Structure 1
């Protein structure tokens, strides 16, 4: 029986490579595992007495590439970041940008008037102002103390 030398650093490198390959497949736009989502835009939400203010970070997109759908309870943002493929002289192209479609559904903390939503897109930030429904503005809840 032969002795095998244990090399922990090599095993860590192999694990690192395997984890990178797993995440690349899950996030690839060609759908390595059928997921096909390139990125999920970061969001920031602020609630005031009259409205909910929602900001999403979607850099590198044109407003025509973004689809926003609003119900009384949630906001759905989807779109696609299209790639511009360039082939260099030696035939190798390297890109760390993520391309492909994305979708995010954000539940809202209170009901809104979805026919009065205001949207603005500037410098890669999509800002939505979602006015609250009238019954939500004046809603008072009595709390029973047991």
Structure 2
């Protein structure tokens, strides 16, 4: 039986660890970028309507496309943001571009011909009135 001597190199282990950490941070950075592209949403329901609030900072209302069906809302748009600051003759410019699309299923059918929308300070508020059959929906329960 022949055994080969292998010289231990602690720096090789550190290189492997560094590579794994770089890979981990690269993946998390990509994930964070994707999460920022999808707007955060909050949904609430009353007897008369469904209220949907979306966070869309830095967007112009002209860059939004909102489509409502009786059981869902589709929102898409393109973010075109540029921040430019000048200080002591030094100009700093940051750009952030990207398209997003989000489909939100609704918990009840809505009357999509009477939806109202308000966009202010980066917050989109949609009021989606419920369809008549949903407002007075009564279900008889049989006792077994």
What's the TM-score once normalised by structure 2's chain length? 0.77
Is the Cα–Cα contact under 8 Å of residues 55 and 124 in structure 2 kept in the other structure? yes
- Using the alignment, how far apart are the partners of 1:15 and 1:121 within structure 2? 44
Instruction: Give structure 1 regions of 4+ aligned residues with deviation exceeding 6 angstroms.
Output: none
Q: Residues 78 and 112 from structure 1, CA distance in 2 versus in 1: closer, same or farther, beyond 3 angstroms?
A: same
Match runs of 1:119-134 below 5 Å: 119-134=117-132
1 or 2, which has the higher helix percentage?
A: 2
- Provide structure 2 residue ranges, at least 5 long, that are not aligned to the other structure: 1-5, 87-91
Between the two proteins, the alignment pairs up a number of residues equal to 131
Query: Larger radius of gyration, structure 1 or 2?
Result: 2
Give the distance between the partners of 1:15 and 1:80, measured in 2 at CA. Answer: 34
Distance 2:32 2:70 in 1: 30
Q: Counterparts in 2 of 1:1-146, with a 5 A limit?
A: 1-5=6-10, 6-7=13-14, 11=17, 13-24=18-29, 39-84=37-82, 95=94, 98-146=96-144
- In the TM superposition, residue 142 of structure 1 has moved relative to its aligned partner by 2.0
Structure with bigger strand share is 2
Identify unmatched segments of 5+ residues in structure 1.
29-35
Offset of residue 22 of structure 1:
3.0
Cα gap change, 1:3 to 1:126, in 2 (>3 Å): same
